[in-house]
A and B are shown apart, each in its own frame.
Chain A
Amino acid sequence: MPTVIQIDDVQPRSEDREEIRSLLNRLVGKPFLFFKVSYGDELTIHLGELVPYLSPKMKDHKKGAYIVALRASAWVLESGLEPGLLYTSGDRLTLRASSRVTTLDWEEIESRPIIRPRAIVIDIIFEATPAELILGLRFSDGSILMILPDRSADPKDDGEEPLTDWEVFMPRHRVLKAGPGPFWSYTDSRTPPKDETAA
């Protein structure tokens, strides 16, 4: 019987696929709020209820109770509102011949209605290989977002630990970090990290 990690638990490092799947299943049922581009051209997807930032510097802004942060990963988004149109950050996927493919500038992705507001996450697409953890979100409006780790986007030989491939911030100050490789962690997001990577 697979172990289910409770929300207040922590798991410093793991390769257990059932456990990470159980954590990701917490996203199911959560409404899409908005895309936000964070510093470094990092796409983030805000889900759940709106909550305030803790910093007084961001007191006029709200964020999602759940934040999926794509770090430097590539992504492909099929809009449920524009069937057959794929938005992408890169060319990693072999795209369907019938699909139209386009890229978005960073301002457009925040303002354009690509996913219907309040569309619900109805399914998690998760694939674990020895090399990476791939995450996808399927929404009730037919939209699908796939996150594809792209190690070429992470500068190497800079003396720094590698970036994670993607992260999910959750309520009760928990963060799920995936990658690089098949490793993940689930930790307290209020504890200053010594090593960001799950590996």
Chain B
Amino acid sequence: MPGKELKDVRRIARESGMDDEATRDFGDYLEECKRLGDKGTKNSKGDFTEAELREKAREFLGI
């Protein structure tokens, strides 16, 4: 279902203290990571598991 990944990102972004603008940019960052071959292990599309999203959030925020 297309909305599942969007909700995952929203939840992890909020946990990480991101505002709406940062959350939008975070979504673009995740897609860019996939494009560059830094893919997740959730499925064949390279989406990220929750643990991987949390790691990506830290990476995005530089913490």
Query: Do A and B originate from a single complex?
Result: yes
A-B CB contacts (within 8 Å), total count: 103
Determine the main DSSP class of A at the interface with B: loop
Determine the main DSSP class of B at the interface with A: helix
Contact for A55 among B1, B4, B25, CB less than 8 A: B25
| A contact residues around B60 at 8 Å (CB) | 55, 57
| B contact residues around A160 at 8 Å (CB) | 7, 11
Asked if A135 CB lies within 8 Å of chain B CBs, one says no
Q: How far is the CA of A39 from the CA of B8 in the complex (A)?
A: 10
Residues of B within 8 Å of A, CB-based: how many? 33
Contact for B3 among A53, A56, A153, CB less than 8 A: A153
Contact B21 A54 (CB under 8 A): yes
Q: How far is the CA of A187 from the CA of B21 in the complex (A)?
A: 11
Contact A36 B28 (CB under 8 A): yes
Q: How far is the CA of A77 from the CA of B2 in the complex (A)?
A: 19
Contact for A54 among B6, B25, B30, B34, CB less than 8 A: B25
Contact B21 A189 (CB under 8 A): yes
Render A149-176 as a binary contact track against B, CB cut-off 8 A, 1 for contact.
0000111001010010000010001010
Q: Which residues of chain B have a CB within 8 Å of any CB of chain A? A: 1-11, 14, 17-22, 24-32, 34, 47, 59-62
Q: Which residues of chain A have a CB within 8 Å of any CB of chain B? A: 36-42, 53-58, 61, 63, 67, 69, 71-72, 153-155, 158, 160, 163, 169, 173, 175, 187, 189-193, 196
